[in-house]
Amino acid sequence: MNHTGDQFKATVNNQFIFDDVKPELDIVPMGDGRYHVLRENVSYHVEILHTDFSAKTFSIKVNGTVYEVGLADQYDQLVARLGLAVVAQDQVREVRAPMPGLVLDISVEPGQQVRKGDPLLILEAMKMENVLKSPGDGVIKAIRITKGEAVEKNYLLIELD
């Protein structure tokens, strides 16, 4: 499968920044979050260790070395340049499923105070556990799902005040 399209800015290990990353890769899924990747005739063994789709951060192991990667698409980069990133994130009052999955655990309850980045729930998708975190500070207004429930992409999971 060949992935091309938008350009990304990637930050690796909070230290290395790569601008205009073009995802031109040949990827073969090996199962259980493992992939064989071919780029410019070089072979890589990649394993997805952890994903946080709301924050666009990922822990991946490439040929035995673990990397923490943050991605920013063209819209994320524009929002950051305009200085709107913090304001936009803090106004999010709904947490929706970033992908179809199964709710494994819920870490909060209605009325609970949460801070930006606090874990809210664990969603299993494609045999990987994904921790969904609070997009901002607030109070849990309502939990719209139950442990063990299967949800579709964009399904409303939690509301914040």
Mean pLDDT of 112-139: 89
Residue with more model confidence, 55 or 117: 117
Range from 59-63, 89-93, 94-98, 135-139 carrying the lowest mean pLDDT = 89-93
Q: Are 47 and 65 in contact (CB under 8 A)?
A: no
Q: Which two tokens stand for residue 118?
A: 């606090």
Predicted confidence (pLDDT) per residue in 12-63, tens digit: 777 777 776 666 778 889 988 899 988 888 889 999 888 887 778 888 999 9
- Helix (H/G/I), strand (E/B), else coil: 109: coil
With vertex at residue 67, the alpha carbon angle to CA 62 and CA 44, rounded to the nearest 5 degrees, is 15
- pLDDT of 13 reads 76
What is the 8-class DSSP label of residue 98?
A: S
What is the reported pLDDT for 151? Answer: 95
Question: Phi/psi at 89 (nearest 5 deg)?
Answer: -65, -40
Confidence band of 139 (pLDDT split at 50, 70, 90): very high
> What integer pLDDT is reported at residue 82 of this predicted model?
74
Query: Mean pLDDT throughout 111-122?
Result: 92
Q: Most confidently modeled of 60-64, 94-98, 141-145? A: 141-145
Which residue ranges form the domains of the chain, and what is each CATH number? 2-74 (no CATH), 92-160 (2.40.50.100)
| pLDDT interval class at 90 (50, 70, 90) | very low
User: What pLDDT does 15 receive?
Assistant: 73
